[in-house]
Structure 1
């Protein structure tokens, strides 16, 4: 298959040849006497490191409906997401195990799920028990790191747990982090009340990422030092942020982007209500919640308290570009090439010959990004139908 489009990073027209699931070649298109205004923009498929659910489907409510996992992956193609890390959060030992087993079973039975899931993100239960830092995670199930328990979960997942979010405030956290690192599991610091010294020790032990930095944090904390400043200052930590316009003010996003540079990444952290119409819903975590037409998800009795993220990566890219916090190419890379590079995925190569042909075509329409087509391994898996 051959595509002609505008390269998202260079702005130049290119011809992309895809063969047997990979990009065979990318050649410039001579534009003399040729109108390129009708061409869409081509970019790498998006890679979401943290997603709890989508379109009414929840990775944290067990048992899963039949074929749910593959259905989520298919729906994510409509959002340009070609690879993701389903996120299982703090819950009972048995519920976590059941969720992991269900994802593993789906990957064995459904090629769509297998190819779309790059790994599982286990967010908890080894996080801070403190209010504020714990976020919406159930305090009843928060516990200190347990290597034997983690190994049991990893076995249940078929070895698919690739990221674990924890707080290094627990005793012996460094030893647990070292074991995870030695076994190829990326350790991310999040939902933490750790001291700067504990964070530094965690980084030395192998922690390499910050989970939704600036969220899952106390409303008030010491001016300095504190765990946000320390994570920003740790050169070996990559920072994930939710850039939906509700979770972090622009000033914070700007500082993270400037400090972290090529180590800044976007995640959706979307919950199951993402992709649904505006309205009032009942959440198993937040109770009665409201999804506004603007895309903000908040508790029904307090609009100032968020009930999770209901926006996808495209919304984050729109926000940071519309607010002049990043250029389009840089913002897109934060949600695709950088996340792939960080997790050492083949898609880290982006738009280069030999890379997997996970691509999207889109157009800018004012402040919005309109996705038109999605390709997974060279196969068109989404085509927007004109109304």
Structure 2
């Protein structure tokens, strides 16, 4: 399978797209390698950091898109994940808690401005966006807004969706390992999957195969989007890697762990491998996989 469209790539093949120092050659190399691995388009993902660091990292990717045809052919835009996410342990995930903040239009506008028109998607926690003001503001600019790293209530999710939120980022992750039995963020999002698309990481680690199979039975086929959440370790195997300002350890099973080994920090699995997992272990058919990894993300981005 080829032609994949991945909405969440933090890095790839030894290159961290969240690094403060990253060469033009490295960004070009990432795009060449992605193409060789059957990935047609991605959104380069910049995660939570101090605002000026985020702006600098966003700007660096935007300049590369504008400067190199090899980059613009693959990087269809930028996904800003944070900083308007939940600061609560578990929900904050691998994002630095001290850089998390409530959403406001001015800060959101500064992040978007740094992208020079290339910011296509922003993930926030609806409970951090009072009255969904930022969600509405970004939607009016044509930017896709996703929920994620969130413990939003049903009412908060509904308000965000009514204000333009159209995606939930990597369901089953960006939340604690232990949740209330029935009323939890996973169940709330699944209950609204007829109104909002849902992205899932299909590496067998972030969501076990049996749970992924259950989620896929709940979410309409035209609402499922598979993302890798890839980091620089993707495609390289076990070892120690970086993601922004933190160190990530990839074990022999291919799981990418934060330094404290309490939660995952991105993913080291490539999209072709995820397609194989979906086919061989989850029971999806080739038509579904094509829809989830290519058609649906294209439709979402418009």
TM-score by length of 2: 0.93
Which of 272, 277, 296 is the equivalent residue of 2:237? Answer: 277
Q: Distance in 2 between matches of 1:305 and 1:156?
A: 30
| Cα displacement string for residues 267-317 of structure 1 (whole angstroms, at most 9, x for unaligned residues) | 00011111223334566555362331x322235774x74333100111111
Aligned CA RMSD, in angstroms, stands at: 1.8
Which residue does the alignment assign to 1:240?
Answer: 199
Which residue does the alignment assign to 2:250?
Answer: 290
Which of 176, 195, 216 is the equivalent residue of 1:257? Answer: 216
Which residue does the alignment assign to 2:47?
Answer: 89
Q: Distance in 2 between matches of 1:324 and 1:63?
A: 39
Structure 1 residue 254: deviation in Å? 1.5
Q: 1:190 to 1:324 in 2, by over 3 A?
A: closer
Q: Distance in 2 between matches of 1:158 and 1:282?
A: 26
| Cα displacement string for residues 302-333 of structure 1 (whole angstroms, at most 9, x for unaligned residues) | 4x743331001111111111114311221132
Structure 1 residue 265: deviation in Å? 1.3
Aligned residues: 300
Structure 1 residue 197: deviation in Å? 1.3
| Cα displacement string for residues 71-92 of structure 1 (whole angstroms, at most 9, x for unaligned residues) | 2111111211111000000001
Q: Distance in 2 between matches of 1:98 and 1:286?
A: 17
Alignment of 1:62 onto 2:20: yes
Question: Who wins on radius of gyration, i.e. which is larger?
Answer: 1
Q: 1:197 to 1:335 in 2, by over 3 A?
A: same
Stretch moving more, 109-118 or 119-128: 109-118
Which of 123, 127, 140 is the equivalent residue of 2:98? Answer: 140
Alignment of 1:222 onto 2:188: no
Higher helix share: 2
Q: 1:44 to 1:94 in 2, by over 3 A?
A: same
Higher strand share: 1
Structure 1 residue 244: deviation in Å? 0.6
Which of 41, 58, 74 is the equivalent residue of 1:100? Answer: 58
**Counterpart contact for 1:46–1:81, Cα < 8 Å:** yes
Which residue does the alignment assign to 1:118?
Answer: 76
Structure-to-structure mapping, 1:1-387, within 5 angstroms: 45-170=3-128, 172-234=130-192, 235-262=194-221, 263-281=223-241, 287=247, 289-292=249-252, 294-298=253-257, 302=261, 305-344=263-302
| Cα displacement string for residues 119-163 of structure 1 (whole angstroms, at most 9, x for unaligned residues) | 110000000010000001001110011211221222221111111
Q: Distance in 2 between matches of 1:338 and 1:124?
A: 23
Q: 1:285 to 1:251 in 2, by over 3 A?
A: farther
Structure 1 residue 258: deviation in Å? 1.5
**Counterpart contact for 1:283–1:289, Cα < 8 Å:** no
**Counterpart contact for 2:87–2:100, Cα < 8 Å:** yes
Identify unmatched segments of 5+ residues in structure 1.
1-42, 345-387
TM-score by length of 1: 0.73
